[in-house]
Amino acid sequence: MKLKYKNDPVRFALVFVALFVGFYYFNIFYLGITSPGNHYSVFLDEHLNYIQWLTLGLLWCSKKALIVLGYNTITNDQDLLVAGYNHIKVAYSCLGLGVMSFLAAFSIAYPKPVKEKWIFFIAGILVVQLLNVVRFVLLALYWDMRTTKIIDHHTIFNIVIYIIILVGIYFWTKRDFATTKKA
């Protein structure tokens, strides 16, 4: 059974904005309850801390990439040090959770079959996190902290990622517009 308003752009916009805001602020809320402080949950922090898992996964992948490239590295739960080069600290803002919230909201809100939504979402997340690993590797090797006042690598990364996402969205949705023009 098809929904009567499935292709309504207003419905899409409302669902997208609601989902994005929900996902985005849920991540911030979850960071708050898994960080020691006022409303800290030991259970969630120790057993269901997906933010820490993502941090550790990105650090592990970055470390492995640097080892393959021949560099000596040291990591802990937040830091990556390349011997003779740089040290980076991976903060919440480095994880791309806002970008992933955008991708999830768009994938769910856009009127396509569920299988296509999953493929687009998973492919998008993999691309974002692969580029995040590349960013960490480049920062660990080449970032000069004196340029932080001139160039913010978070802003550059976000611009690049959103351009890639918009190109991906264009091609993902292009087929739908071509189909409706033929009909």
Phi then psi dihedrals of residue 39, to 5 deg: -110, 40
Q: 50-68 vs 9-33: helix axis angle to the nearest 10? A: 90
pLDDT band at 177 (very low <50, low <70, confident <90, very high): low
> In this prediction, what percent of the chain has a pLDDT beyond 70?
89
Torsion 64-66-69-73 (CA) sign: negative
> Which region holds residue 40: left if phi is over 0, alpha if psi is between -120 and 50, else beta?
beta
Mean pLDDT score, 53-69: 97
Q: What angle do CA 27, 30, 32 make, to 5 degrees?
A: 115
Mean pLDDT score, 37-47: 93
Residue 23: its pLDDT value, please? Answer: 98
Beta-carbon neighbour count of residue 137 at 10 Å? 21
> Whose CA is closest to 136, among 69, 74, 170, 90?
90
The answer to whether 62 and 123 are in contact (CB under 8 A) is: no
pLDDT of residue 183 exceeding 80: no
Task: Measure CA of the first residue to CA of the last residue in the chain; give whole Å.
Answer: 20
pLDDT of residue 165 exceeding 50: yes
Residue 151: its pLDDT value, please? Answer: 72
Cα–Cα distance list, 19 to 24, 30, 44, 108 (Å): 8, 16, 23, 8
* Distance, CA of 134 to CA of 88 (rounded, Å): 13
| pLDDT one-digit tens code per residue, 75-121 | 999 999 999 999 999 999 999 999 999 999 999 999 999 999 999 99
Output 176 or 133, whichever has higher pLDDT. Answer: 133
Q: What's the chain's average pLDDT?
A: 90
The amino acid sitting at 116 is E
The least confident of 3-7, 60-64, 96-100, 119-123 is 3-7
Token match 């991976």: residue? Answer: 90
Token digits of residue 175: 């087929």
pTM of the model: 0.86
The amino acid sitting at 166 is L
Residue 1: its pLDDT value, please? Answer: 44
* Distance, CA of 167 to CA of 41 (rounded, Å): 40
Token digits of residue 62: 């970055």
